[in-house]
């Protein structure tokens, strides 16, 4: 029986790259996201290559919708081997005292509460079966704050602490827990952060070759495919000319 990976935020960026990587590596997929049409497009593409795919369209901020979706899983889909908590975003790049509270709420509800919701729904089954792997997509921003990153950095610091806490809580089981911390990754991330300002978003990557979603997916799969006695607890993944969240060498 093929293993099953459940990936949140699978309709773009790192989530979509993870879906492709795990599908091409022999997993069946449960992919979630807010855009049903994109989920169905991916489903058709993956199933044409022989991967079984189940789509669940909901926003991880809506805990009731998430619970309803997970509870709808039939027996063949309930045994989730890998949970990739990828759904997340940054909004705005303002000084903390000038920030938009709605942006704050969206980041906190998605990056922290959404991750907790999915963990609460999926991990009890892993613990009961004494197997499984949780891969949380954190960020270099969770290691140290950078200018105007305030609340986003805070949410990713929370992801680190929550991931570490879960690893402690399941230490007596065979469930593994991984925190992946990407630096600059060229996805739709910056466009979302700047509310659709493509020119400003593109400037984030000028002068440096950034990471891609595929780079992060490769590390996620490496962690998931390690021998069962090996737990890749945390990985910081940076572009070659990025030293930290705030130190980036750009060749202009």
**Catalytic positions, written as ranges:** 152
Token match 């795919």: residue?
A: 53
Torsion 91-191-237-173 (CA) sign: positive
Output 154-159 pairs: Cβ under 8 A, ≥24 positions apart: 155/88, 155/107, 155/108, 155/111, 155/112, 156/111, 156/181, 158/111, 158/112, 159/88, 159/111, 159/112, 159/115
The enclosing H or E element of 160 equals helix 150-169
Q: How many residues does the chain have?
A: 252
Residue ranges with strand state E in 116-204? 133-137, 176-182
Pair of tokens at residue 15: 């989530």
């Amino acid at each position: 029986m093929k293993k099953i990976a459940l990936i949140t935020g699978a309709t773009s960026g790192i989530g979509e790259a993870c879906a492709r990587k795990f599908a091409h590596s022999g997993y069946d997929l449960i992919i979630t996201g807010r855009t049903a049409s994109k989920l169905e497009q991916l489903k058709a593409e993956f199933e044409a290559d022989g991967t079984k795919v189940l789509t669940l369209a909901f926003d991880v901020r809506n805990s009731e919708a998430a619970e309803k979706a997970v509870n709808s899983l039939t027996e063949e889909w309930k045994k989730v081997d890998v949970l990739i908590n990828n759904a997340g975003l940054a909004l705005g790049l303002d000084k903390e005292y000038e920030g938009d509270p709605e942006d704050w709420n969206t980041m906190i509800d998605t990056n922290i509460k959404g991750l907790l919701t999915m963990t609460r729904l999926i991990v009890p089954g892993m613990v009961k079966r004494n197997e499984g792997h949780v891969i949380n997509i954190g960020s270099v921003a969770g290691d140290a704050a950078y200018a105007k990153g305030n609340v986003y950095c805070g949410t990713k610091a929370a992801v680190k602490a929550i991931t570490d806490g879960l690893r402690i809580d399941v230490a007596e089981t065979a469930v593994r827990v991984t925190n992946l911390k990407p630096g600059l990754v060229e996805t739709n991330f910056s466009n979302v952060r700047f509310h659709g300002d493509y020119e400003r978003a593109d400037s984030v990557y000028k002068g440096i070759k950034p990471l891609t979603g595929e780079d992060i997916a490769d590390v996620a799969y490496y962690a998931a495919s390690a021998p069962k006695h090996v737990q890749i607890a945390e990985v910081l993944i940076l572009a070659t000319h990025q030293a930290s969240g705030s130190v980036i060498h750009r060749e202009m």
